[in-house]
Chains A and B, each alone.
Chain A
Amino acid sequence: MLFQQQSNITPSERRKILVIGRPAGITDVLADYAIQLSERLESDLFIVAILDNMESNDNSGVHETVTRGPAKEALRIFKQKAARKNIRCNDAIWEGNMEKAAEFLLQSVKRTVFVLTDSEYTKNQLSEDITIPVFSLSTTYDLEGTTMTRENKEQRKSDLKKTIGYGLLSACLYGLVFWKPDTVMHYFTKGGFYAALPVATVIVFSFAHGAFASSLWSLIGIKPLKKDALQPADSKSIGQSKKLQKRPRAYAYINPFHKI
């Protein structure tokens, strides 16, 4: 485990917000929100980039030199933004296990009031190990111009693959029909049982081309914003959770014939 620190951790009277970023870097949304929040709460910031997928080469503890390029760059931008608002900000890169990072940081960084992260996964991992509140920041809007998170990049990659794959399939199907249109038209307009041909064709096309269109919109970034009309499903799940929450109760039983 290697803990690298750019600034010394100086215990201070001011409260701190611990911001934990993911290996891919700290998103703009998280950085902006954390800075705005610390300004309002008049607190300091402590930003940590967790690199839990890298092997550490020694156990020497705190180091002055940071070699992890992207994380270092993200922290530099974060600190610059904070400095513009006159917010005191310490930063660190943690290589290794996230739970241990949280444990160590909360011991070292005094007066941490809560932890802010942009990943639900990180929040869930941390919530099990630490006692102070952990908040995760998420947005329903796909803001343009923000640093893309790893999930977004993966989603985009998957959308691109699907768009190309289904696009090629759709193009092949169109090619098949328009390659010899006269023959196709001859059989497709025969009527009777041949009616199955056009009907089946449009169904096959709607699957291939529909999947292509869906992934195309997703790739462009046009995605649904909210899910409407979920009232019946919601009330059902609330009902179920109420049922689960019902605890067994202890009842006192008084024997009226006691000592008779």
Chain B
Amino acid sequence: MDVTQFIDLNIVSVSFLFFVGFVGGLVSGFIGSGGAFVLTPGMMSLGVPGTVAVASNMCHKFPKAMVGAFKRFKYGQVDIKLGLFMAASAGIGVQIGIQLQHFILNKWGAVGSDLYVSLSFVAILIVVGSYVLYDAMKSSASGGQEKVSSLAQKLQAIHLPPMIHFKRANITISFWFTVPVGLATGMLAATIAVGGFIGVPGMIYVMGVSSIIASASELVIAFTMGLAGSVNWAMHGMVDIRLVLIILGGSLIGVQLGAIGTTYVKESMIKIVMSVLMLMVAVSRIFALPKYLNQLHLMSFGSASISILEKISFLFMCLALLVAAAIILGGMWKARKPAMMLKESFSQV
């Protein structure tokens, strides 16, 4: 592959990638995924070809997930067995997702494929995001303590061999109930590049894993899938190592802060951050829908309006990431406040 197709870097692009890397890393370290959906379009807006952007994004994702998983493992939050089981079925899910994309591409063309991606994006994010937000509000009202969902309790009670015990997550569930969650995670990852948006809620509500352990184990899934994907992309020579290292520069700092943040806040905070992020990203994708509807001649918009809507969509995505980061940092600050008050009360003695 010729070197000339890779972009020239300047101070603006380096700063942008470093900053997005940091914020994306912070969110990933906290909820187990996120950040990737901003990086790919972000790199493309800098002039990076689509495939190189996807490849470079994936290549930064797996070391970031590795560092985040290691950090959270030290805090006793990672169930490696759960992560590996989910990663195995998610790997199959990715293949199914790719085949589905090919099928849609052949049947309705590139525009149909884009519309399918955007619609599934919006539908899944709104449905799952709303439920997670509702549940987070409910558990926040009851003091931030989580309850195992009734669906998970019912599924755990069904003895369908082989039954698997996940020690750290402290659950025993049939292998056959872990598979659909893994497959859905992989399919979503192949479609919208963020499998965690279904993987983490799936582990919480279908399997009965706590949100702390689900979000930490999601990092194991992200690492496994990211490594496999990166090797694949690197074999095609698509990885721009310069972009990867600049993003990593920020994200490795951010992911550790996010991981530390999980030890400061209540478990419901993970759900709040995830749901707010999902709903805001869904809104940003709604702004992108008219473009595809226009191309399919289902609606008619002027090219200027489409361009403005695309920009709004991207900015809203960046805003979603910033809001998620602000909630995490705010939560950490609030948790630190009692310590400061304690100190003040002692000083007044």
Contacts and interface: CB of A to CB of B under 8 A. Distances in A.
A195 to B, nearest CB: 3
Contact of B212 (A81, A143, A194, A228): A228
A186 B237 CA distance: 10
Interface in B161-190: 167-168, 170
Contacts of A182: 3
Nearest to B78: A229
Interface residues of B, number: 54
Interface in B225-242: 227, 230-231, 234-242
A214 B256 contact: yes
Given A191-B1, A227-B75, A184 B241 contact: yes
Interface residues of A, number: 56
B263 A226 contact: yes
A144 interface: yes
A178 interface: yes
B253 interface: yes
B252 A210 contact: yes
A205 to B, nearest CB: 6
A230 interface: yes
Contacts of A225: 263-264, 335
Interface string B236-259: 111111101100110011001100
B297 interface: no
A49 B17 CA distance: 54
B256 A210 contact: yes
A181 interface: yes
B191 interface: no
Given A144-B343, A225-B264, A178 B234 contact: no
Question: Most chain-B CB neighbours within 10 Å: which of A29, A32, A229?
Answer: A229
Given A191-B234, A225-B264, A229-B213, A185 B59 contact: no
Contact of A189 (B62, B237, B257): B237
A143 B1 contact: no
Interface string B200-237: 00000000001011000000000000010011001111
Given A177-B242, A225-B335, A185 B63 contact: no
Interface string A189-217: 11110111111011101100110011011
A206 B227 CA distance: 13
Interface in A93-114: none
Contact of A188 (B77, B239, B252): B239
B248 A202 contact: yes
B16 interface: no
- The A interface, classified by DSSP as helix, strand, loop or mixed, is helix
Given A191-B1, A195-B234, A201-B241, A213 B256 contact: yes
Contacts of A150: none
B346 A29 contact: yes
Nearest to A193: B235
Interface in B64-82: 64, 66-67, 70-71, 75-77
A36 B167 contact: no
Interface in A18-77: 28-29, 32-33, 35-36
B291 interface: no
Contacts of B168: 229, 232
For A182, A192, A201, A230, which residue has the most chain B Cβ atoms within 10 angstroms? A201
B12 interface: no
A232 to B, nearest CB: 5
B298 interface: no
Nearest to B65: A206
Contact of B59 (A36, A146, A202): A202
A85 interface: yes
A216 B59 CA distance: 24
A191 B237 contact: yes
A172 to B, nearest CB: 13
Contacts of B1: 189-191
B241 A209 contact: no
A199 B232 CA distance: 10
16 contacts: A28-B346, A145-B343, A146-B343, A178-B242, A189-B1, A191-B235, A197-B234, A198-B230, A198-B239, A202-B230, A202-B245, A205-B248, A209-B248, A217-B256, A217-B260, A233-B76
Given A36-B346, A177-B241, A188-B237, 8 more contacts: A141-B342, A144-B343, A189-B237, A191-B234, A198-B241, A214-B71, A224-B260, A227-B263
Interface of B: 1, 3, 6, 59-60, 62-64, 66-67, 70-71, 75-77, 167-168, 170, 210, 212-213, 227, 230-231, 234-242, 244-245, 248-249, 252-253, 256-257, 260, 262-264, 335-336, 339-340, 342-343, 346-347, 349
